[in-house]
Amino acid sequence: MIVPEAASAGPVTVTVGGKTSNGIFFDFVSEGIPNGSFEKDGLKGYAATGTVIATTAQRTNKPTHLDHMAWMSTLHNPANGQSTLTTDRFTVSDGLGYLVFDYHFMGSLVFGDIKNHLELRIIDENNTETIMNDVFSANMEKHRESIISRYAIGSGLQSAVVDVSTYAGQGIPIKIKFILKGSGPIPTDRPDLLPDDSNRGSFPNKPGTSLLLDNIRLSGTGFLPAPIDLNTITMTLPLAGKSTISGLAGSVVSDGTIYAHGLVSGIRHETTAAADGSFSIDVPASSVQDTYYILYYSTPKTTIDNSSNRLFSPNITLKIPHE
């Protein structure tokens, strides 16, 4: 009998006297998420539909753990397309009752509730699919109906958590399914466009939606970092094309990494916070028009092996006034 390479789900055959049998599908069950970091031979350990690849970069976006991440998109059908990514079956160990992952959502023309575009389902041992609500941050609501293309910038990296504690230590093999849906039909009535605007509904140069995923893992805690409180942030007025963004003590976690993602440039600047959670970072800023940054942070990695339990906060938008 030949088990699929690297013990992923797939057809299993029996060879006797040089004759090989038909393949019978073999549902490999692992403990924990198989290939949760997408480092093993691309999408091995997953079933995908639509447009899904493993990649090392997407524009300026990089994996959050090691060298690869999954990139789901609806570029094949931007308005009504759908792509899915489903893990192989796995069991949840006792004491590791939370599924955690890092994601980055992008859409050039996204309308309405984020739930119209992103969904996470748990598939149980009977193949019953349960939609898990509120997995994707309410913080993303502000990205809807933006006239700025979010395809390059996206939501910023964030971590998400799903409570799977009812399966912990039960030995029940489950799967996780990510569903990405297109931008939906273009509405005929948009408050920011006049009826005779020539570019009505045609401003995106890369229509559709995308989702980057990495570091899907099980954790003992459902803790997620809070977004940065704008009241703890100060900025200098732009001088010689630069501004300094500063955070008071406690604005982020001790030794966290702060990311300032240029809303128009798409360039990500980063720095490390001090032990008291204060930070300071110089970023390009214009003195003739306001400059916008998406600001978020990650907690320090505390593991000593090759895994990473680093978490990304929800993002906030920061305006640097031109004067």
Give the pairing type, strands 24-26 and 10-12: antiparallel
Residues 98-112 as b/e (b if ≥16 CB within 10 A, e otherwise) read: bbbbbbbbbbbbbee
Contact set for Ca ion, span 177-216 (CB under 5 A): 214
Q: Is residue 222 classed as helix, strand or coil in its secondary structure?
A: coil
Which range of residues in 30-38, 120-128, 139-147, 229-237 is near Ca ion by CB under 5 A? 30-38
Residue 66 interacts with Ca ion (CB under 5 A): yes or no: yes
As given in the structure block, the two tokens for residue 156 are: 């910023």
Work out whether 61 is an interface residue with Ca ion (CB under 5 A).
no
How are beta strands 175-181 and 118-123 bridged, if at all? antiparallel
Decide whether 119 or 214 has the Cβ nearer to Ca ion.
Answer: 214
Nearer to Ca ion, 68 or 104 (CB): 68
> Of the two residues 65 and 150, which places its CB atom closer to Ca ion in the complex?
65
Which region, judged by CB under 5 A, interacts with Ca ion, from 33-41, 130-138, 140-148, 226-234? 33-41
> Which residues face 235 on adjacent strands?
245
For residue 46, the one-letter residue type is: Y
Size of the site for Ca ion (CB under 5 A): 7
63 or 238: whose CB is closer to Ca ion?
63
Q: Give the span between the Cα atoms of 257 and 270, in whole angstroms.
A: 7
How much of the chain is helix, strand and coil, in % rounded to 5?
A: 5, 40, 55
Q: In this structure, are residues 311 and 226 in contact, taking their beta carbons and an 8 Å threshold?
A: no
- Residue list 210-249, contact with Ca ion (CB under 5 A): 214
Q: Does 88 bind Ca ion (CB under 5 A)?
A: no
What is the Cα–Cα distance from 157 to 101, expressed in whole angstroms?
A: 10
Report if residue 37 touches Ca ion, rule: CB under 5 A.
yes
Single out the residue of 9, 28, 33, 65 in contact with Ca ion (rule: CB under 5 A). Answer: 65
Site for Ca ion contains 63 (CB under 5 A):
yes
Q: Which stretch binds Ca ion (CB under 5 A): 66-74, 102-110, 156-164, 286-294?
A: 66-74
Site residues (CB under 5 A) for Ca ion?
37-38, 63, 65-66, 68, 214
